A and B are shown apart, each in its own frame.
Chain A
Amino acid sequence: MSENKNLTDKMKDASMLLDIARKEIAKRIIGQADMVNGLLMGIITGGHILVEGVPGLAKTQMVKAVADVLNADFKRIQFTPDLLPADLTGTMIYRPQTGEFVPRKGPVFSNIILADEINRAPSKVQAALLEAMAESQVTIGDNTYRLAEPFFVMATQNPIEQEGTYQLPEAQLDRFIMKLKVDYPNPQEELAILNQLDKRDDQVLRKVFTKYSIQDLKDLAASIRVDESIKKYIVSIVNASRVKGRNQLPFTRFIEFGASPRASIALFECARVNALFENREFVLPEDVKAVAYNVLRHRIVLSYEAESEELSSDDVIRDILSIVTVP
């Protein structure tokens, strides 16, 4: 009973903390609540986020604001075609005074990284970043270095201007826990942006989180109860995306490749954090559904039939969710 009481108190504290963080971020970013929640979710789950949206939607501002409230280092890396892996991870440089090579750590050694327009860099650079994301360590010369904790990457992709870009392979896309879609603000939000234009840059955000409070949130999310039926529900959703018989389910013809087991894990973890956001000590099917689009969007490879019918991954995910029985 006391454990439950403690958990309830912790949930309340976490909820308050997250509310304060959201309010702080809102001082600089108007609207985009889903994106802010997505970033926080990524940080708490320890995953990384891929963001797709047209330029000018304050993606950089947002991730900077998040870094500020997290009290974390922030680096922005603009991915370009001539970028090298060493520009990202670092390299050994020669020091003439001592006559030896010393490591020079790259921007990846930071808590929060904005990999801007990740699809503009060649695949070897992408691979270097994705390897760092997967292993949380980087090897420079003969030495391997652990990356900072927390380590969070927000990569962006521009849905337009695909000329001369290097599309991320499906296997590498899978490493992002979620893919968020950022849309234009509504007219009211845009007006509020204009009204706050003068003071926005001067806004100093309160540092709400510490390294330890992030870990506390992670621990708290891990303690949220996930019933067996919810796990089965997650597996059913992911499995539905893999059904091959064209006549078995109506949407199977739109899917070339379904989601991987990593999708199940991501759904599981994100659903837990969503329950945490809702100040609930247990996961509901609502939590799974709430995160399903962001988690599965980049993990389902659509067939040419879907493209010919101009269907998006979201359309197919909606079909999947509408057919899988909720426990």
Chain B
Amino acid sequence: MRRIILPLLLFLVAGALSAQSYQIHNLRFIPPEYYVGDTVEMSFLLKTDQAVNLKVPEIFPTPGWIRFLSMDIEPRGVDYQISIRLIPYYPGTRALPPLESGDLILNDLKIFTSSILDSGASRELSEIRSPLLIPGTRAVGALIVSLLLSLPIILIFLFKVIRSRTGKIIRTYKLNLPYRQFQRLIRRIRRTMVNMPEKDFYLSFTGGLKKYLSTRFHQDLTSSTTSEIEALLIRSHIHETLALSLVNLFNRVDRVKFAGDKLLYSDREQLLGEVEDVSLALEEWRKKHADL
């Protein structure tokens, strides 16, 4: 009798040890609803009565209707956070095959795999559905559509900005053009004045200066005399010194052109230097006083 009772007792103790109890909490599926063939992550918190040692099975069971991809076990004090990644191939509720995870065998885990077929409906073919979109597709689409819709406005805005900027650049270019042309003329005169007859020198000099001043005072000065230019300069309220310098230049040149005064080569050089200074001062004045 003793020979029978002892093995039976040992068997029951062993059975009791192997059938340790555990509870599953916070069971979650990502995604919450999944279909046949979807990759699903099943996670839960495993609580046990006693301390157990859990480990990932070396070989996952292969029942055919499900494929285990991976399993993570993360201790949380005496509990364990377990994540199992799997792909179900059968719709409906099914229990997972037992998973030997160290001291415990997880054998009461169930999953529900949704079916795209409505079980209550007829077996006829469903209507064609639009393809499933990956998350964010709609947002990106909306963004693209709004961009496309706002594109004309953006283009118009850009066009206006570019036009305004280009206009400003062109205006500035045109505004400064007479000064640059006059400077070029002065440089050309300086290069060629060695062989230039005296009268030609002064004619081209005053011609260029009058043309330049015409653009600055918005009045054709080619038909104006020195006294008329003087009156214009006084009316324009430019600085008195500047006006006097300009009038003085014209008066000196008038004496050469009409009174037959002789001026040396160095005088010509000096005259060109003076007119460069005066025109530069006039440009600075103009930039400060836009109404000039």
Contact = CB atoms under 8 A, between A and B. Distances in A.
The reply to whether chain A is a binding partner of chain B is yes
13 contacts: A225-B258, A225-B260, A227-B257, A227-B258, A229-B203, A229-B257, A282-B260, A284-B225, A289-B228, A321-B223, A322-B223, A325-B223, A327-B203
A281 B225 contact: no
Interface in A277-292: 281-286, 289
B259 interface: yes
A221 to B, nearest CB: 16
Interface string A286-327: 100100000000000000000000000000000001111111
Contacts of B224: 326
Interface string B188-199: 000000000001
Nearest to A323: B223
B257 A327 contact: yes
A202 to B, nearest CB: 40
A285 B254 CA distance: 9
B225 A326 contact: yes
A283 B227 CA distance: 13
Nearest to B199: A229
B222 interface: yes
Given A284-B254, A327-B203, A289 B225 contact: yes
Given A282-B260, A284-B226, A327-B257, 16 more contacts: A225-B259, A227-B258, A229-B257, A230-B258, A281-B259, A282-B259, A283-B258, A284-B258, A285-B226, A286-B225, A286-B226, A321-B223, A324-B223, A325-B223, A326-B222, A326-B225
Contacts of B199: 229
A133 B255 CA distance: 37
Query: What are the nearest 3 A-B pairs in CB distance?
Result: A282-B259, A286-B225, A285-B225
Nearest to B254: A284
A225 B254 CA distance: 13
Interface residues of B, number: 16
B207 to A, nearest CB: 9
Contacts of A229: 199, 203, 257-258
Interface string B244-280: 0000000000110111100000000000000000000
A193 to B, nearest CB: 30
A282 B258 contact: yes
Contacts of A283: 258
Contacts of A286: 225-228
A323 B223 CA distance: 6
A186 to B, nearest CB: 21
A297 B203 CA distance: 30
Contacts of B222: 325-326
A285 B221 CA distance: 13
A52 B204 CA distance: 42
Contacts of B203: 229, 327
A227 B223 contact: no
A88 to B, nearest CB: 42
Contacts of A326: 222-225
Contacts of A323: 223
Interface string A215-256: 000000000010101100000000000000000000000000
A285 B199 CA distance: 16
A323 B221 CA distance: 10
Contacts of B220: 322
Nearest to A228: B199
Contact of B260 (A227, A289, A321): A227
Max count, chain A CB within 10 A of own CB: residue among B224, B225, B254, B255: B225
B158 to A, nearest CB: 44
A327 B224 CA distance: 9
Contacts of A285: 225-226
Interface in A151-183: none
A116 B225 CA distance: 37
Interface in A13-65: none
B255 to A, nearest CB: 8
Max count, chain A CB within 10 A of own CB: residue among B220, B222, B223: B223
Nearest to A230: B258
A187 B165 CA distance: 57
A326 B254 CA distance: 11
Contacts of A284: 225-226, 254, 258
B209 to A, nearest CB: 12
Interface string A255-273: 0000000000000000000
A200 B227 CA distance: 37
Contacts of B257: 227, 229, 327
A293 to B, nearest CB: 14
B262 to A, nearest CB: 13
Max count, chain A CB within 10 A of own CB: residue among B224, B226, B258, B259: B258
A281 B257 CA distance: 13
